[in-house]
Chain A
Amino acid sequence: MVIKLVIGAVAAVSAAAGMLSGMAGGVPVAEVNAAPSARCPAVRTFDRGAPRALAAGGGMWAVSGGKLVSVSTSRSMTPAGEGVGIVRHVAADPRAGTAYVIDRAGDDELVVVTSEGTRRFSEPAEVTHPTWSAHGDLAWATGDGVAMLDGDTGRIDRLPAPTEGATVFSPVFMSGDRVAAVVSAPPTARVPEGERLSNLWSVRVDGGRWRRMTSFHARGDRWVALRTPLKQRASVAFVKVIGDATADRPPRFELWRLEGGAARRVARLSQERYLAGTRGSRLVWNVPDPATGRQDLAIERAGGDLLTIGCGAVMVDPADVVDPDRAAHGGTHVPPRGSWSSLEARGHEGDAEEIAVIVGDFATTEQASSVAQTILAAYPTSEVEVVDAAMSPLAIRPGVYGALLHLPLQADPTSALAKFRSVLPQFAANSWIVTP
């Protein structure tokens, strides 16, 4: 064994400091031009009669490229008066008409097209998921509750969420006098955003207490999300998504059915998909393309496989347009210009800074040393060292040790780690890219 202490200056940092361009250089402003597209294939526009088709509410409608698309006729139309918003979430019923949401930055609008004409309802809220009852009443979600439009009187009633801070969405009529909706539990100190737990709840349309209809639970990292409930005869079908927040594996998707007061799993789904409607007795699905997010429409055949019948988003978020609430432009909270004394640190634009692969964490230096020797055997010309928090305070926590493989200055971290794990697969589960 050869003892070799290498006094290694972290020279790149100091050397680069002499080549600074300072404030004038600024940060490269490169953007990635998104080569792949989430857009659906274009379909012809309605020659005429689009408003009548909307009022008739026949067939399946979806949203694609910012347009309303009649899936059954492969015709599209640009809704009038959408302004700076985007169209999303469309509900069509031949007994009533068509309703859809115009999503804007801030207040949204619900558009209802029936044989009596077009009505618009502006809401100071995030409007989602309109749904028709068999009697021509309409419900939609406002995040903090459900709004109900009486088809006969035109009166709007509001049903606040059953729990303060909860998010309510995807209402569906159980009957003429009862509506169900998905209720997402409020954020917690550990899960400040993102879905943690949702359940189906129901309430009488004339008010009263909400009643929980499913009893799913989430513990620790495990989360449960319900999506796209759909009334089908005497039952409500819905998608249940189960994930582990910190695990690096995809969540599971399942089809469930609520019937006679009990929820049961119908099938495990082979991929991400959400309910979009029915064709006869068969379910129609929105299936996102994993490469782009594009929403295909597919029908389940007898053998369980999916047949694509169109493209566009029904009750899911369209991926081919930017949600105005999340658009990059218009933000006011950008850095001020001028003196930034508290932030002063110059930049260099030459070589990239050094990165490393760390394997850890180990309770003793001996354990880390043993791993380091294994790494060195596989990378004999590289620099490998044992580190702790005093040596690499940003890479490892106090009280433990790691084996650190220094990578060349220009190394690409993604491919370097992939190579490391292929060479030394025994460390795949406890190796990371770090700044040494």
Chain B
Amino acid sequence: MIGYRIHVRAVPLALTVALALGCFAASSAVAGHMSDWTHDHSKKGIPPRPSGLAGLIDVFGQRCSDKATNARSWWPHADPNDGSGAYVEYHTYLARTIGYNVRNHINAAHKDGALYPGIGSYNCRLIAGTSSWSVHSWGAAVDTNWQRNFRGQTFWNGRGADGIDHGTYIPDVWRGGYPGHRFFWGLNWSNPDPMHFQYVTNY
């Protein structure tokens, strides 16, 4: 992959030209094969995953803070209203593993069509009926394809926005060990939540 980078001492004309060149180069790169891209399995790429509420606070800090929204990536089909693309915001602790590992993985495998509305991460809310805060309040969980995988459903519906059944492709990228990315899948809970993937266990 080769990209064109512009040091911004450039004049506007140069910027325009460079942008055009960049567009061409980047388009070619995006159209490449999975082999063009590798997981970041460094410790920063897949950081330690906390356990329990105290561990969650220790790693991610206070809930509903700006740190929980300070990283973002662009996800097609994310908007639950019309299926258009939307930003997903999450904690900077997960910047590499969500932004690079998971999002890039799906994109590099040409599987964006496996996504389905809605998709989101940061959401400052109490869990319904409890005094416990949702892991989304720390930007440490992602709900994906929720319009086909609502809470309480006991299975994963893998049909994506492209109308194809992708099986458990999307959960497989998020969950567990290699080649997943260590997110805990809510389908494992006794009150199943198939849309839900979180970077903490025992909470």
Contacts and interface: CB of A to CB of B under 8 A. Distances in A.
B124 A244 contact: yes
Given A243-B125, A393-B30, A433-B99, A7 B2 contact: yes
A226 to B, nearest CB: 10
B130 A317 contact: yes
A247 B68 CA distance: 10
Interface in A93-137: 105-106, 126, 128
B201 A435 contact: no
Contact of A293 (B53, B130, B147): B53
Interface string B157-170: 00000000000010
Contacts of A290: 57, 62
Interface in A380-402: 383-398
A429 to B, nearest CB: 9
Given A106-B190, A291-B57, A433-B70, A334 B50 contact: no
B130 to A, nearest CB: 6
A250 interface: yes
Contacts of A365: 12, 15-16, 19
Residue of B8, B52, B150 most packed against chain A (CB within 10 A): B8
Interface in B150-181: 150-151, 169, 171-173, 175-181
B40 to A, nearest CB: 4
Contacts of A288: 131
A41 interface: no
B118 to A, nearest CB: 7
A227 interface: yes
A391 B100 contact: no
B41 A25 contact: yes
Nearest to A332: B188
Interface size range of chain B in the complex:
35 or more
A251 B179 contact: no
Contacts of A250: 62-65, 124
A353 B8 CA distance: 23
A81 interface: no
A302 B64 CA distance: 31
B72 A432 contact: yes
Residue of B18, B39, B89, B129 most packed against chain A (CB within 10 A): B129
Interface in A151-176: 167-170
Interface stretch (A51-59, A191-199, A205-213, A261-269): A191-199
Contacts of A308: none
Interface stretch (A10-18, A42-50, A72-80, A229-237): A10-18
Interface SS of chain B: mixed
Interface in B1-41: 1-12, 14-16, 18-19, 22-23, 25-27, 29-30, 34-41
A390 B26 contact: yes
A29 to B, nearest CB: 7
B71 A353 contact: no
A184 B128 contact: yes
B41 A227 contact: no
Contacts of A325: 189-191
B129 to A, nearest CB: 4
Interface string B47-66: 11111111101110011111
Interface of A: 1-10, 13-14, 16-17, 20, 23, 25-38, 105-106, 126, 128, 141, 143, 167-170, 182, 184, 187, 189-196, 223, 225, 227-228, 241, 243-251, 274, 286, 288, 290-293, 315-317, 319, 322-328, 330-335, 340, 342-353, 355, 365-366, 369, 372-373, 375-376, 383-398, 403, 406, 410, 412-414, 417, 432-435
Given A36-B55, A316-B131, A387-B22, 13 more contacts: A7-B2, A10-B2, A17-B35, A27-B178, A34-B55, A128-B129, A192-B147, A194-B123, A250-B65, A353-B42, A395-B72, A403-B8, A433-B95
Nearest 5 A/B pairs, CB to CB: A331-B188, A194-B125, A34-B55, A352-B44, A347-B39
Interface of B: 1-12, 14-16, 18-19, 22-23, 25-27, 29-30, 34-55, 57-59, 62-74, 80-81, 85-87, 89, 92-93, 95-96, 99-100, 103-105, 107-109, 111, 118, 122-132, 134, 136, 143, 146-147, 150-151, 169, 171-173, 175-182, 184-185, 187-191, 193, 195-196, 201-203
13 contacts: A6-B4, A10-B1, A31-B48, A167-B128, A223-B125, A325-B189, A331-B189, A333-B175, A353-B96, A391-B25, A395-B74, A433-B72, A433-B95
